[in-house]
Amino acid sequence: MKKVLFALLSISLSVGAIHAQAPSKPLTAEEKAAIKQQQEADLAAAYKEAGITDEQVAKIKELDASFLAKSKELYAERDSKFSAIIGKDTLKKFNEILKKKKESTPPVNPSVAQTPEEKAAFKKKQDDDRAAALKEAGFSDSQIEKYIAIDTELKDKIGALNKEKNAAIEAIAGKENYKKFKAVQKRQKDEAAAKALPK
């Protein structure tokens, strides 16, 4: 119950901060395509600069595809658990409400590094929107607590899967090349962030 009240209270505290930090309008399809293209170019450049061979890149891409499939399975498992608790109609209503809330929040450009404070504020906004959507969809307090537990379990599983994936990438690329790759990616994000700053 305390978690529910806290989540609902925090909505009012974080909405202003998030909107002040987020872009003023959602990204267009062209902007999204340009961002994706730039991310792919940056990734290819990072692999090359780190000394990761084309053969290793191919293996890493296979690994990424496998990770994505496992992630989708975990999300489907979570949704199945939610449906069992609240029913498919309430879950559908919740997802529709949450989608509207996401659409009303301008996206964050993923290629621009955020400060830890911005990341924390954005995550808090997502959590607050989710809590508000749960209430609006008619979830009881006990259902919200179960939702939070299931969602936390999913986040833990995704985190473990991510660590496993990173360890496998390191094994494919070699420890030193993997460290170089991560350093190049960080530099690329920092450079993108610097370019995004108003002049």
What does the pLDDT average to over 162-182?
93
| pLDDT higher than 60, residue 186 | yes
Sequence ranges of the domains in the chain: 2-196
**What does pTM read for this prediction?**
0.66
| pLDDT of the residue at 3 | 40
Q: How far is CA 131 from the centre of its chain?
A: 17
> What are the residues whose beta carbons fall under 8 Å from the beta carbon of 60, sequence distance 6 or more?
47, 52, 169, 172, 173
What does the pLDDT average to over 158-173?
94
Comparison of pLDDT for 105 and 123, the residue scoring more: 123
**Residue spans of alpha helices (H) in 53-140:** 54-86, 88-104, 116-136
> What are the residues whose beta carbons fall under 8 Å from the beta carbon of 26, sequence distance 6 or more?
103, 106, 107
Comparison of pLDDT for 194 and 186, the residue scoring more: 186
The mean-pLDDT minimum among 27-31, 33-37, 172-176 falls in 27-31
Q: Is the dihedral of CA 196, 117, 32, 177 positive or negative?
A: positive
| pLDDT of the residue at 9 | 31
Tokens of 67: 């990770």
| pLDDT of the residue at 108 | 58
